[in-house]
Amino acid sequence: MASWIHAITTFEPVALIILALLLVSLVQGLVKGASGSAKRLFFFVWDGVLMLLSFFAAWKTAALLSPVIAKLLSGVHPPEKEVGSLVQLWYTFVTSLSDFALFRYGVLMLLLYAVFRFAAARLASPIERWVDRLGGRRSSRMADHDMEDGRHLLPGGRLASRVIGGIIGAIHGAVRSFLLVAVLFVYSTLAPNGPFTEKIRSSDVYSEASAQLLEPVAGQLLADRGPVLTEAVGDELQRIIQRKYEIKDYAIPDNIAEAALSVTKDATTDEEKARALYRWVGTRIAYDWDKARNYEEHGIWKEQTPEDTFQSRLGVCIDVSRLYAVMARASGLEVRVVTGMGGTTASGFGPHAWNEVRIMGPEGNPIWVPLDATWAMSGDWFNPPGFETTHIPSV
């Protein structure tokens, strides 16, 4: 709620658009309910039911199909020769579907919603025609006392009609808002440097809504090991992860410093700065599954600097953590890279890296809080409850 109030009072575009969708849908429902037309209200309610069922079916079906699509596309790789912009865009889309589980889920959900909505409309059309004919015959019998004018509704009936219309209108608005968030998610993933992407990604309301919308896949992503290097790779990888990068990353490249200052320019506290950077790094840097697999299967480790990660927008946990640390220091924050084991009881644990940042605590004293930007696309991993059960630091 606090993020909504802040977003609206600061005229955050995403929050204002979602609020407008909700309000327009609610007013639409109240108007339909107040019209006194039983037929008109029925069709509005009927449309809301079909919308809700289609959304729920798409939500669940996308989660089931996501791993199947990933397997089918796993062998697709961009051509090594130079290609045109359209072909390049196509391979970017396909490889993103293959490697990025949450992007794949968002695309599938939007496509499946359109399919289910179309199918529901076709299947329901006989019922709608029957109701329409029934309403027409009834109207002709009523003659000048047509129910469309609502004069035959008792006050209590009209109130109930408005309430029903308002509830269905709220459902319309919620579904439309979630679909908008999915569209914004797909767009900002495909065009990380595109127009409006910065505004979208910086929205607290968008971050919260996308986490809720993609929660089924987020949980499954971690349950299937997620962005954690497998424990089977042994002690050598642990030593690599545990390297100390404070000296190596001491110099902050100008482009990273400029980006960090731009991301935190509207933050007024250290916590707001830390959260803004967490969102930026967590939504801009995709997990480099090829790098992880290359080490796990062939023992080949690709060392990269924070600037490499910043430019390529790819990295594993240590790369993401190092970039976050450099950007945090550029913003005047005290930060450190933490190494250890990450995972869940269901998935098992593997070598992992994350960050801790020093901010002012609720009692006015500085405290260190943990965050995991590598896992940011699978939920809120900025100092959540139970963080210590999924992230075990090395002694």
Q: Does 246 share its domain with 365?
A: yes
Distance separating alpha carbons of residues 93 and 222, to the nearest angstrom = 23
Q: Does 43 share its domain with 164?
A: yes
Do the Cβ atoms of 61 and 112 come closer than 8 Å?
Answer: yes
How many domains would you assign to the chain? 2
Q: Does 62 share its domain with 180?
A: yes
216 lies in some domain: no
SS (H, E, C) 147-188: HHHCCCCCHHHHHHHHHHHHHHHHHHHHHHHHHHHHHHHHHH
Q: Does 174 share its domain with 26?
A: yes
Compute the C-alpha angle 331/335/337, nearest 5°. 130
205 lies in some domain: no
Q: Does 164 share its domain with 291?
A: no
Q: Does 259 share its domain with 141?
A: no
Per-residue confidence (pLDDT) for residue 151, from 0 to 100 = 45
**Domain C-terminal end among 183, 198, 213:** 198
Q: Does 239 share its domain with 105?
A: no
CATH number of 240's domain: 3.10.620.30
Q: Does 179 share its domain with 76?
A: yes
Per-residue confidence (pLDDT) for residue 65, from 0 to 100 = 87
Per-residue confidence (pLDDT) for residue 362, from 0 to 100 = 82
Sites in the chain below the pLDDT cut of 70: 1-11, 32-43, 77-85, 88-89, 99-102, 124, 127-158, 189-194, 198, 201-202, 207-243, 345-347, 395
Q: Does 49 share its domain with 187?
A: yes
Which alpha helices (DSSP H) does the chain contain, by range?
A: 2-9, 13-34, 38-73, 85-99, 101-142, 155-190, 197-201, 204-213, 215-223, 235-241, 254-263, 270-284, 289-298, 306-312, 317-330, 387-390
Per-residue confidence (pLDDT) for residue 15, from 0 to 100 = 77
215 lies in some domain: no
Q: Does 100 share its domain with 192?
A: yes
Domain of 50?
A: 2-198
242 lies in some domain: yes
Helix (H, G, I), strand (E, B) or coil at 341: strand
Q: Does 114 share its domain with 31?
A: yes
pLDDT (tens digit, 9 = 90+) per residue, 67-96? 788 788 877 766 655 666 677 667 777 777
Per-residue confidence (pLDDT) for residue 239, from 0 to 100 = 64
Q: Which residues pair with 339 in a beta bridge?
A: 353
**Domain C-terminal end among 149, 176, 198:** 198
Per-residue confidence (pLDDT) for residue 372, from 0 to 100 = 95
**Domain C-terminal end among 143, 176, 198:** 198
Q: Does 194 share its domain with 253?
A: no
Per-residue confidence (pLDDT) for residue 353, from 0 to 100 = 92
**Model pTM score:** 0.57
210 lies in some domain: no
211 lies in some domain: no
